[in-house]
Structure formats: C-alpha cells, structure tokens
Amino acid sequence: MPPYALDDLELSAGKRARLYRMLHAHGPGNGTGMFLPVDQGLEHGPRDFWDNPDSEDPEFELRLAEEGNFSAVVFQIGLAEKYYPRYAGRVPLVLKLNGKTEIPPDDEALSPVNASVEDAVRLGADAVGYTLYVGSPAQDRDFNQLAQVRQEANRFGMPLIVWSYPRGKAVNAKGGQLTSWAIEYAARVAQELGADVVKVNLPENDPENVRLTPKPYNTADFSEDEAVRRVVRAAGRTPLLVSGGSRIDEEDVLSKARLGIRAGATGIIFGRNVWQRPHEEALALTRKIQAVIREEAFAPLAARV
Amino acid sequence: MPPYALDDLELSAGKRARLYRMLHAHGPGNGTGMFLPVDQGLEHGPRDFWDNPDSEDPEFELRLAEEGNFSAVVFQIGLAEKYYPRYAGRVPLVLKLNGKTEIPPDDEALSPVNASVEDAVRLGADAVGYTLYVGSPAQDRDFNQLAQVRQEANRFGMPLIVWSYPRGKAVNAKGGQLTSWAIEYAARVAQELGADVVKVNLPENDPENVRLTPKPYNTADFSEDEAVRRVVRAAGRTPLLVSGGSRIDEEDVLSKARLGIRAGATGIIFGRNVWQRPHEEALALTRKIQAVIREEAFAPLAARV
Amino acid sequence: MPPYALDDLELSAGKRARLYRMLHAHGPGNGTGMFLPVDQGLEHGPRDFWDNPDSEDPEFELRLAEEGNFSAVVFQIGLAEKYYPRYAGRVPLVLKLNGKTEIPPDDEALSPVNASVEDAVRLGADAVGYTLYVGSPAQDRDFNQLAQVRQEANRFGMPLIVWSYPRGKAVNAKGGQLTSWAIEYAARVAQELGADVVKVNLPENDPENVRLTPKPYNTADFSEDEAVRRVVRAAGRTPLLVSGGSRIDEEDVLSKARLGIRAGATGIIFGRNVWQRPHEEALALTRKIQAVIREEAFAPLAARV
Amino acid sequence: MPPYALDDLELSAGKRARLYRMLHAHGPGNGTGMFLPVDQGLEHGPRDFWDNPDSEDPEFELRLAEEGNFSAVVFQIGLAEKYYPRYAGRVPLVLKLNGKTEIPPDDEALSPVNASVEDAVRLGADAVGYTLYVGSPAQDRDFNQLAQVRQEANRFGMPLIVWSYPRGKAVNAKGGQLTSWAIEYAARVAQELGADVVKVNLPENDPENVRLTPKPYNTADFSEDEAVRRVVRAAGRTPLLVSGGSRIDEEDVLSKARLGIRAGATGIIFGRNVWQRPHEEALALTRKIQAVIREEAFAPLAARV
Amino acid sequence: MPPYALDDLELSAGKRARLYRMLHAHGPGNGTGMFLPVDQGLEHGPRDFWDNPDSEDPEFELRLAEEGNFSAVVFQIGLAEKYYPRYAGRVPLVLKLNGKTEIPPDDEALSPVNASVEDAVRLGADAVGYTLYVGSPAQDRDFNQLAQVRQEANRFGMPLIVWSYPRGKAVNAKGGQLTSWAIEYAARVAQELGADVVKVNLPENDPENVRLTPKPYNTADFSEDEAVRRVVRAAGRTPLLVSGGSRIDEEDVLSKARLGIRAGATGIIFGRNVWQRPHEEALALTRKIQAVIREEAFAPLAARV
C-alpha cells in the first residue's frame, strides 16, 4: 500500500489535478497507477516490435490503453503529435521529454531533451517523463537539464516522473545498475532533485555484484521484499513506479507487480511485458495486473493474513 | 442535440483532451455539458448570497459540483487559488480570466483581464472563460484583450469559452441586450473572434424592443424554439452554452434547459438558479437538469414524437 | 478569533514562511497581526505629521515598530530603501507597491504602481501591499495592474496584502465608501482577485447612506458586531486586517481592535492612531492593543462569558 | 549645513562613487553641490536665450561649468550627445531623462521620458534627472514612469535626482505650486518614491494662496528660514537642491543660496540666473555663490554668531 | 568571537534581513550560527542513513532543527519542495543549489547546478548554498556557474554561502584537500569570487602532506589554533562556518566547535555528527554545541583567562 496519499503530499493544484486523473480517475484507482510506456522504439529501435508486429503501430498501444483503462500511455513527442489526438482525453498522456538510441555505448550515458513541458501542456498531457542516469560521468549536464525541466514543470503545474537509472562506467565498476546500493541511491537522487514520481527497476541480489558495492552495502543480504521496501523508503515522499523491463512469463509479471505494490510502490509501468503480447492476451494480462494492484493496495490487512 | 461532436471540430489535441474531460468524463456526458459558474461575487457582490447564505463559502459550490457531477465549476483566480486545490482533478475547473464589479455604470462596459491562460494551466484548469461585451464603445480594447487571451489559449491547447454579451449604450438604443438581433450578433462575433465555446443568454421576444432593432430584425417574429435555433446556427461550429441568469422557478429552469438543448445547445451554465437553493434542493434540481439534457440530447428521434 | 489558521490555507511555502514571520514570530503572535502603516506621507502629505512632528522621520516609526514588536512596518519604496536597512530582519517589512497623492479628486481613483515585487524580494520584505479602488471608473486599469502584481507575487512566494477600498463617484452615489454593502463587496473582490490578506475599513451604519445602497442592503440594519462578522465572512479564506483611519481617542482605538478581532479579523493595521502620539504614549497604546488582540483571539470561550 | 553626509545614507557603491564626484571632487566640495541646468531650451524654447545670445550654444554653459567648477552640468540627451564628449570627465554630467515643451497647458502636466539610464551610463554621466509633477491628474502615468527609471538607476548604481514640482489644476485650486503645503508635499513624495536627491523651489508665503491650502497649512505663517527648514525636513534622507527659477538680481541670487544652504540644503541648481549673464559676469557670480555655500555649510558655528 | 558583526559588512537590505534571521533570530544568536546540512542523501547516497535509519526521513532533521533551534536546515530542492512547507517560517531554510553523487571519481570534480536563486526566493529560503571545488580541472565551468548564482543572489538580496572545498587531482598532488595551504586558498577564493559566507573544513597538520604543499607552506608548522585563525583571516569579511565531516565522538564534536568559534568562526555546520544520532542524543548534543558557541563567542575576555 503506497505510504502517502496524494493529499499527504505538498503538491500544487495543477500537479494534484493531473495526478488525480491518472491515479484515481483512470487506472486501478484509489491512488494507484498502471502506466503503458511506448518509448522503446526510440530507446531500442524496431527490434522490440518483432515479437508482436502489430505493436509497431502506436494505435495498438492506444487501443490497449483505452480498453485496459491504463493510468496513462507514455509517448515521445512524435508519437504524441501523430497518434494521440484521436484519444485525447480518453487516455491520459505522459509525454517523455528525453530519450536516446542504444547505439553508442552507455559508459557516459546522457539522455538528451527533445521536447518541452510546454509541448506537454499543449498536447493536454497529464505528466512529463525524464530519464536521469544517476552516476554517469555526464551527470553534470544531466542535472542541469533536469533542473530546467523541473522548473518548467513547476511553473505549469505539470507532474514530473523521473526514470531514475544508475548507469555508466563508474556504476558498472561498483556492482552495476541492479544492486540495492545503486537503486536506492537512484531513488534518493530523484527525490533530492525534485521528482514528483520516480520510476525504478527492482534490485537483484546477486552476491558477486553486491560484493563490489560501497560499504556497508557490500556485506548486506536483503530479502526480496525487504529490498523493495528499502527502495520505497529511499524515495520518501516521491510515489514510486516499478519498471517492467524485458518480457518475462505472465506469472513473473504478476509476481513483480505484487512484490512492488505490497512493498509500498504506487504503481507499475510495464511496457514490453504488455504490448509484446497480442491484443487479447495483453488485455487479459492487463486485467490480471489491475486485480493484483487492487488486491495488494486496498485489501484489508485481515484479508492478507 | 448538439449539431457537432468534438470529433467534428478542428481542435488541437490539448483542447480536445480538455473539452473531452468536461463534456464526456464529467457532466451529463456524451458531448453535453452542465457548468456551475461562481463569478457573481465579483460581478454583483455578496448581495447574490443573501438568498442562501451558505453559498457565500465556495466550498458549498464545490461540494455541489462534485456530488452533482457538473462538467466544471467556474471561478475567478482568487477562489481558484484558495478553494480549488482540495477538489483538484475531482471537479474540472474553468478559470474565468476577466470580470468587473457592477458598481460603475455599464454604458462603456469592459471586463478587464485579471488572470492569464498560464494561471489556468498552472491550476490544472480545463478551460478559460472570457466575457466579451459585444457592441460596447470599449469594444476596441475588448477585442485586443480577447486576441491576447485567444493566442495564449491556442499556444497551451486550452479551450476558450466566451461569455458573449451585447452591452453598452449603443445596444440599449437598439432594443437592448436580449433581442434576437443582439444575441445572434453576439454569438456570431464570438465565433468570428475565435471562441471554442460560446455562452449566451436566450433571446426574449419583446415587441417594443424588437421594433428598435436594425432591419430586417425589426419586423421579425420568431417562435421561442426558432429563436434559439437561430442563435445556435449563428454560433456555427462553436458549441453553445445557455446562461441561466437570475433565479426563476424550478419548472422554468427545466424548461429553459430543455428549450436550449432541443434547439442544439451543447449545454447549460446555470449558477444562481442552482446555488441560491439549499444543498439538497440544489442537488435534486441538478439531477433533474441532467435528466433533461440527456433526454433531449440523446433520446432517439422516435422517442420525441 | 480568526476563522482560519495559516495551515488551513492553500499557501505556497514562500508565502507561508513570510506570513509566519509576521503572524507568529513577530506581533501579538499565534496567527494574529498588528501592522504599522507609514504611507501617509505619500497619501496625505506632511500634514499628517503636524500632531507629532517626530513622526516625520521614519526612524520614529521603525523604533516604535521594533520596541512595540509590531508584525511589520509598511513603507513605500523610498522609505524602505533609505531607512529599512538598519532594521532589516529586526522588524518585518511590508513594501507598499502603489500609492497616490490626495491632490487630484477621487472620482476616478487609481493608485499607480511605483515599485515591484522584485523590489520587495531584494529588500527582504515579508509581504507587498496594493491599494485597490473597488468600483472606481478606473477599475479596468486597476484590475490589470493588480493582476501583474499578483502573478509576480505568486512567482516569488510573496504574500499580497490588498488595501480594498470602495472609491469613486459611482460608490459615492450608492451611499459612499463606508456602508456594509460597499465594504463587503470590497472584501469579496479582494478575495476573488487573489489577495492573500485584505485590509478594510469597518462599516458605519448611517441610515441615510444605507438607504442609497443596492437591494437588499438598503433596508438592512446590522448591529456593529454583526456588520463586522459579515465583512470577515465576505473575505472568506482571506485573512482580514482592520484599518485604523484618522486619530481617535485611546478608548475608541481599543474598542475598534476588540470589535474587529472578536468578529474574526486576523489583525489590525493602525497608523496615525499610533504614531501621531509621542513615543512613550504610542508604545503604551501599542501594548494595550496587543493585550486586546491576545485576549480576544486566544481567550478560552469560557473566559469571555 | 546638510543634515546628512554621503556616508550616513544607504547608498550602493556605484551611487556613492558618482555622488562623491559631484559633491566632493567637483563643485564647492565637502558634500555640497552647485549644478548648472541647461534644459530650458526644451522646456521654454529659445526665448530663454534672448538675454544672452551666447547661451544658445551649449559650449557656453560647458565652458562656464568647467571654469566655474560646477558639480555638474544638466543636459537632455541631444545636447549630451553633441556637446558633452569634449568635456567628458572634465565636468560631471547629469542626464535629464524627461522633459516637455511649455506649449500645451499645464493642467494635466506630464513630462515624458526621452532617454534611459543606460544612455546615461553610456555617456559617462554621474546622475540622471527626472521631473515629477506632484498632484497632476496624470500622476498615475508619472509614478509608473518614475518607477521604471528608479529601477534602472538602482540596477546601474546611478544616482536619481528628482525635480519635484507641484503642478496641475488641482494644485492651482489649492493655492498653487509655491505654497509650503505644496512644496513640502512634493519633497516628501520624492523621498517616498525613491529619489536619491530632490530639487525643489523655495516656498513663498503669499497669504492669499496660503488660505487656499488644506488644513492645517491654511492658517500657518512660517518665517522664510523656517519654511525652508521644513522642506529640508520633509525630504528626510534625500539631499535637497534649491532651484533658481527665472533671472533675479545678483544679491537675490546670493540670498537665495544662503537661505537654502543655511536651512540644510545640500546645494543649489541655478540655470538662467547664471547663464543669462555674459561669461565673465556669470563666472564672477558663480564664484560668489560658491563662497556663500562654503561659508554657510562649513563655517564653524562660532563664526556665524 | 567573529571578527565582524553584520552591521560591519557591506550588505544590501535583503541579505542583511535574511542573515539576521539566521544569525540572530534563530540559532545560538548574537551573530553566530549553527546550521544543519541535509544534502548527504545526494552527495553520498542512503549509506549515510544506516547508522540512524530514522534520519532517512527528512522530517527527522526538520523536527531536530526546530526543537534544537538551529539557524537553518540545508536542503536540496527536492527535499525543500516536499518537506519544508510544513516548517516554513518555523525553521529558516538554506537551499543548496548544486550537488552531485559520489559515484564518478572526483579527479575533475564539478557540482552541477540543479536549482536557482529564484527557487530559493519562492520557497522562502534565507540563503542559498553553492559547492565550489577549488583547484579542480573543471574550475572554469565552476567559476562561470558560481558567477551566475552570485549575480542572481545579488539581484534578489539572497545571501550566498559557498562550500569552498579544495578538490581534484591537482590538489591531491599537492598534499590533498586538508592542508592549511589548500584550505586558506579555498577561503580566499570564496571571498574573491563573492561569497557572503564561506564553509570550510578545518586544516589538518599532517607533515607528509604539508611537505607536498607549495612554498612557503611546505615548511610551516602551525598550532591547531593558529591554523584556524589563519583560515578565518583568509576569509576576510566573509563570515566563516566550520564543517563537521563524518561522525566523531561527542567530545571531539564539541572541541571542533570550540576551536572554530574561538578562532573567529561565525558558526558551525555539522550534519552527520548530529543527525546520525538518535533524536534525544542528537538534541542533547545540539544544546551542548550551542552552549559552547555562546561561551566562546560572547564570554567576556576576562572569563576566558
């Protein structure tokens, strides 16, 4: 169950109105969220559409988002301009403001801004998304860039969702991007720099990697649940979304959602795991995920015992 | 039945998203609207709250708007800043950008701008409102002022609702503000100057006034229905809202709504007729108005015969 | 007792911090205020200093404000630049942003802006003040001007105190600036246009003037207490300060403060009544006013019976 | 003797440096000033040059200013551009930023800005001058205009000298521009609005005019000395310069200077009285004025008895 | 005892007002300061919260700052936005404008800006903080960045506190960041570039490192007291705060405070040494530090002998 309700947070009227639409009026409701990200065409290229060729046409994801009652669909500016108008108001939109290709190596990762908060306002979006590469040698430019976006988002009352990802050669040397150390740090950095919502990967407890992390993380051994609760706590008053990553089995998808929400995440943001499946299968999975979220987030404690 | 659906209109994604929320996700639905204006405290002063002292506290209107599922509540900037945050997202907001007191005479009426479209964006509003005094000797400044608002609204994808009112000494000399001539002209002017939605009073067929209007209106004699259909036609692709004016009997309120919607209005915008009644009575009336709108707007033609 | 605590109001962090300093850390405390306005040198000229020639030197008022622990002193920009630096931080400052001389007649009163919110930030002020002439034929320019100030104040988290005064020939024709009708209307207009705090005169129940006011005010007969409570209610969530006006007897000063605070005013703003007295006398009166405010605002209900 | 030294005033480094050059390094010295205004060609037209045709060529005044060691010469932008370069640094420059012709009547006097503080910086000026018409019906635009100049002067550390003149039909109706009431008010307004230095006329005690002034001025009867001391006091921490007006006898010029400095003025600003005389005569008078200023401002008290 | 009182410094009214609030109205008082920095979540990540898990929630530090009457709490923008509003005005805020993670190596250290002075104004902060890495190969970008911040701080009257830290591979080659050479240089650089207050580490007299410093430092041998007095002198008219660094014994904390204040520091800024202890222990230590500051800063000289 999310540790904070929208009313507990210090949000301006505009941010509150827009988050309310995604976390109450759409999606699983009652302050939880289920987002459909469709930025992989930029991040990974069309190779991600091979498993389900229909998914290359963003209409596929929009129909799914509307029928599956997602909290929002996430697009880069081009897809938003070309495909969103016919769904405007029917499905909330998160406009992703930066992105990059996977072609150059990630040693000095930086995700350049390609759209503005004003673009998001103009399109009727309910949030903007920004990818921050925590620990990258390019973090100086990243922090500057994020500050611009944050100030513009603040001025327009637009919620800012930060994809907070440990990345770069210094991270790799310290156990990589999936250790508790790296992910907790990333969650904290998003909160420190002013994210309204933070999106993270769940940590993996790989002993070889853990050993490379800074003290005292290098000798810690967290259970799966504990590890996720720690990330939620590191994010503080920043509602947290759990990333999906590449496609896994349906049962694993549901477990991941359950694990996250149970530990206090506000929602999930699963892309490939949803739209790399054919329409009917994707829709069925969507409904199961929603059921899990509702169950974990709202069930009376008694019912869980 | 409104002559145009949202999809028939040339609207940007942002305007479409925002209008959809008011005309589909809230209110009577299916492209119709029922708005609750609360700008009379500025326009007329606290005298309007005497009949129902509870109404002086904008919380009264907000609760009513939420429970009655209005399409939106209409506030000036001060009420929006102070009272809207706790209802943000739960009730759509129309931010009224101009307004005046009734203290100086109306001969050269002009409603000065006191807030910006950016304020509306920041507060999470779904439209802005602007009062245009058609025919006032001050119309030059009015047109300039409206142009600024329209351009800013366009830039941000914010729907612009124009309160289009014939007003001023030249209008008075030609039969006053309630003739078909004056109201049709006002509806057309709103469309000509770029309103996304127009709010008008319904015309009154007072022979003495009609005689003073310009040719050929001065000899015309329209039935009530015809008069309203003419106004809807004058507004063209600008969806039209029917104003309520000062408080009248419940039956008359319902007739007015029926008359407007049957003639093609997209919705009604009744303030004093709603909130000058105690909560329960106001809520009951709200539901009856919604029923009338749904009946007139969506009923199969057969059912009307 | 003020109907709203700071925490009840929708205030940004900056506005909250600054109001807290004036209403809690300085002045009578606990959310109440006692302000010392010194803008009469501009509004009335040096004739106001005749009764107490020492008062012509703003050091007199600053020493009084510091020793008497006022919530703030109110200066125009020139006095603030020249006299405030040596008291910076020791006495909070309200920078009055507009003002005029009394030399031209008041028929079309407008108080032009002579400083900016940025000036106030630069000087370390804790609020800005703006005089609004409600009902003046120049209200169109007044509203535009106030909107600029409000937006700048919002951007910088600077509280906006509006001197809301009915004024102009149309007001005079309707009973003048001291009727309940005029003052309630002025309080409401300040709230509608976005004041954070409003300063008003207390209404006078002069039957001849009341008869000239619009319906239904023209037949109303309010007790003194009721009249003030109505003004507080008209201001809604806008904390209200009671103006002092020209010098009156000490007993009348204390009665006025008591009347206002008992009816729900947040504080008083008495200038000439304080600084037209010699230092020791002014300081003694200041302490008596503070005692009255504390007594009326914080005394348990029981104690009042 | 001026009541405040530069070091007593709250001046930024830039204003202090520039005022020091005029009040210490040039002119009679030791914190006093003697300015040569040459803006009458704009204000009155060439008729002012008839008495001494040489004076039409600004070289005449510049030579005089240099040889007579004036604190500064005062020019409008055109003269400054065309004549100042050859004297740059040798004579300080005050750039007058506004001015008007005397052709339209003065009922609604306003002196429009024709140059900027940035022009003054660019030209190496040590101050800017601004004429404020206190009490004019156009005071709203005047105050706005002065605020712009003051903010720009503040930004650049440029001293702002305000020509503060009661003017307009409302002033005329209250005894005209030379009563103590009007001039004290004007001095105070300059201080309230942020002048660094103020230039005023000396009051005249004409019983007929005094009777028309507001209470309590209408029954006051000040000696010449007292009247000037009151104006100095009204200006507070704003050093005061005494205007010269139209040409008078040499003895009267010297008396006026003596009267002003003795009462606490910081300096004099005499134009026509100087340059309407031939070079040698003007230079001789200049030296006598300087002697008077030094005598009155610095003489040990003993010497005055 | 600090060598300069606020009144001795050339501060604008705004900077004076804000510094007064931190150094007089809050904290140990009388011109001294005790600051609570909470930027380690960004600088070091959540590992700093392991010793006292409660400290991960910024509410912990805010409660401590309020109960312990700190001069101010120091936050990055995200914590300020999310946690400060409920404490606004009760605890002064220093908004840290730049920061970085410790993940990439420090060879070319640069702390990128992530917020603006305008953010600080908007939040009601009383100062901004900036980390300057003196001697880093990236110092060109650092100086440019600091210049922007300084100019904006000057424009808004906002005090600028510079964390002045020797850093980078060139510093390491010359004895590292804790030699007298490096720290005196850093203090002087802060003063040269316009800091209003400077925060430094105390120097350590490690002979091996001293030998690597430039002449004549490489042969100097300063006593502990002398070393600190030299740093205070290097900062000139820039009041100096002593950093705490990582957690040490209570006695060492108190000695460090005593050493600094006795040598002329204006205050201390201890974070981990305070909030890595449980609430009651932290509060008790806070009070002991305040006692030391008061004793060293205000005790009559006689009392120290």
Contact residues, chain E to chain D, C-beta under 8 Å: 10, 12-13
Q: Residue D300 — very low, low, confident or very high, per pLDDT cuts 50/70/90?
A: low
Distance separating alpha carbons of residues D217 and D210, to the nearest angstrom: 7
Instruction: Indicate which residues of B carry an active-site annotation.
Output: 165, 199
Q: Cβ of A9 and E100 within 8 Å?
A: no
Averaged pLDDT for residues C209-220? 97
- As given in the structure block, the two tokens for residue A150 are 């944050």
Q: Rounded to an integer, what distance in angstroms lies between the CA atom of residue C217 and that of residue C227?
A: 11
First CA to last CA distance, chain D: 15
> Which pLDDT score, from 0 to 100, does residue A3 have?
85
D10: which chain E residues are within 8 Å (Cβ-Cβ)? 13
Per CB distance under 8 Å, which residues of A are interface residues toward B? 7, 12-21, 24-25, 80-81, 84-86, 88-90, 93, 118, 121-124, 155-157
Residue to mutate among B100, B114, B130, B149, with most C CBs inside 10 A, is B114
Residue C303 has pLDDT above 60, yes or no: no
Contact C13 E121 (CB under 8 A): no
Mean pLDDT (chain A) is 96
Interatomic CA distance for residues E146 and E151, integer angstroms: 9
Residue D19's pLDDT band (cuts 50, 70, 90): very high
CA distances from B109 to A266, B99, B130, B167, B192 (A): 51, 11, 14, 7, 20
Q: Which residue of chain E is at minimal alpha-carbon distance from C20?
A: E89
- A71 has a pLDDT exceeding 80: yes
Q: Label residue D304 by pLDDT band (50, 70, 90).
A: very low
- Give residue-wise pLDDT tens across range C288-301: 999 999 999 987 55
What 3-state class would DSSP assign to A93?
strand
What are the tens digits of pLDDT across the range E257-270?
A: 999 999 999 999 99
Taking the CA of residue D117 and the nearest CA in chain E, the distance in Å comes to 18
Q: Which helix (H) or strand (E) holds C134?
A: strand C127-134
- Subunit contact C13:A10, Cβ cutoff 8 A: yes
| Residue tagged 């919530």 (tokens) | C71
Angle, vertex CA D185, rays to CA D181 and CA D187, nearest 5: 125
Interval D66-98: pLDDT, tens: 999 999 999 999 999 999 999 999 999 999 999
Task: Compute the distance between CA of residue B264 and CA of residue B280 in angstroms, rounded to an integer.
Answer: 30
Q: Among candidates D298, D278, D14, D296, which has minimal Cα distance to D152?
A: D14
Distance between terminal CA atoms of chain E?
Answer: 15
Using a CB-CB distance cutoff of 8 angstroms, which residues of chain C are in contact with residue D238?
78, 82
Å from E265 to nearest chain D CA?
27
Low-confidence ranges of chain B (pLDDT < 70): 300-305
Put simply, the answer to whether D13 touches E10 (Cβ < 8 Å) is yes
**What's the confidence (pLDDT) of residue A303?**
52
From residue D207, alpha-carbon distances to D200, D220, D252, D260, E155 in Å are 21, 9, 22, 22, 50
At which residue do the structure tokens 């309010």 appear? C222
Task: Write b or e for each residue in C118-145: b if 16 or more Cβ atoms lie within 10 A of its Cβ, otherwise e.
Answer: bbbbbbbbbbbbbbbbbbbbbbbebbeb
CA distance C4 to chain D (A): 35
Contacts of residue D266, Cβ cutoff 8 Å, sequence gap at least 6: D2, D23, D31, D32, D33, D197, D239, D240, D241
Q: Do C193 and B104 touch (CB under 8 A)?
A: no
Residues D188 and C45: beta-carbon distance below 8 Å = yes
Q: What is the pLDDT of residue D90?
A: 97
* Chain C: residues touching B (Cβ < 8 Å): 9-10, 134-137, 139-144, 146-147, 150-151, 166, 168, 170-171, 174, 181, 184-185, 188-195, 214-217, 230, 233-234, 236-238
What's the pTM value of the predicted model, to 2 decimals? 0.96
Contacts of B124 in chain A (CB under 8 A): 13-18, 157
What 3-state class would DSSP assign to C235? Answer: helix
Q: How many beta-carbon pairs below 8 A join chains A and B?
A: 94
3-state secondary structure of B296: helix
- Say which of C84, C130, C165, C217 is annotated catalytic: C165
Counting residues of chain E whose pLDDT is more than 70, the rounded percentage is 98
User: Which chain E residues are within 8 Å of C157, Cβ to Cβ?
Assistant: 121-124
pLDDT band at C305 (very low <50, low <70, confident <90, very high): very low
pLDDT computed for residue B300 by the predictor? 56
Task: Give the one of E17, E25, E90 whose C-beta lies nearest to C20's C-beta.
Answer: E90
Confidence of residue C245 (pLDDT cuts 50, 70, 90): confident
Q: Give me the amino acid identity at A131.
A: T
pLDDT at C1 (0 to 100): 73
Task: Kindly identify which residue of chain B lies nearest to residue C218, measuring between CA atoms.
Answer: B47
CA distance A54 to C143: 56
Q: What DSSP character marks residue B93?
A: E
Residue D36: what residue type?
A: L
CA gap C270, E144 in Å, rounded: 49
pLDDT grade for A298, boundaries at 50, 70 and 90: confident
CA-based nearest distance A120→chain C, Å: 21
Catalytic member of A15, A96, A199, A256: A199
Angstroms from C245 CA to nearest CA on chain D: 17
Q: Which residues contact C275 (CB under 8 A, 6 or more apart)?
A: C36, C38, C52, C55, C60, C61, C64, C282
Chain A residues within an 8 Å CB radius of B25: 25, 89
Q: pLDDT (tens digit, 9 = 90+) per residue, A207-266?
A: 999 999 999 999 999 999 999 999 999 999 999 999 998 899 999 999 999 999 999 999
Distance, in Å, from the CA atom of D214 to the CA atom of D209, rounded to the nearest integer, reads 11
CB C198 within 8 A of CB C190: yes
User: How is D216-240 classified by DSSP, letter by letter?
Assistant: TGGG----HHHHHHHHHHHHTTS-E
Q: What is the pLDDT of residue E4?
A: 87
Q: From the candidates C96, C174, C199, C256, give the one annotated as an active-site residue.
A: C199
What pLDDT is stored for residue D301 in this prediction? 52
Mean pLDDT of C69-92: 98
Q: Which of C46, C113, C114 sits opposite D185 (nearest CB)?
A: C46
pLDDT of residue E298: 82
**CB-CB neighbors (< 8 A) of A81 in chain B:** 13
- Residues D145, D150, D153: CA angle, nearest 5 degrees: 130
Q: Nearest C-alpha of chain B: how many angstroms from C201? A: 17
Interchain touch C–D (≥3 Cβ pairs closer than 8 Å): yes
Spell out which chain E residues touch chain C, with contact meaning CB-CB distance below 8 angstroms: 7, 12-21, 24-25, 80-81, 84-86, 88-90, 93, 118, 121-124, 155-157
- pLDDT attached to residue E304: 47
Question: What residues contact residue E22 under an 8 Å CB cut-off, 6+ apart?
Answer: E33, E35, E71, E72, E92, E94, E126, E127
pLDDT value of position A55: 96
Cα gap D254→D259, rounded to integer Å: 8
- pLDDT truncated to tens, each residue of chain E (305 aa)? 788 899 999 999 999 999 999 999 999 999 999 999 999 999 999 999 999 999 999 999 999 999 999 999 999 999 999 999 999 999 999 999 999 999 999 999 999 999 999 999 999 999 999 999 999 999 999 999 999 999 999 999 999 999 999 999 999 999 999 999 999 999 999 999 999 999 999 999 999 999 999 999 999 999 999 999 999 999 999 999 999 988 999 999 999 999 999 999 999 999 999 999 999 999 999 999 999 999 999 875 555 44
Q: Which chains form contacts with chain B, at 3 or more CB pairs under 8 Å?
A: A, C
Residues of chain C contacting residue A12, judged by C-beta atoms under 8 Å apart: 12
pLDDT per position as a tens digit, D23-41: 999 999 999 999 999 999 9
Whether A155 has a pLDDT exceeding 80, the answer reads yes
The chains in contact with chain C, meaning 3 or more Cβ pairs closer than 8 Å, are: A, B, D, E
Closest residue by Cα to residue A149 from A177, A120, A110, A170: A120
Residue in chain C nearest D193 by alpha carbon? C78
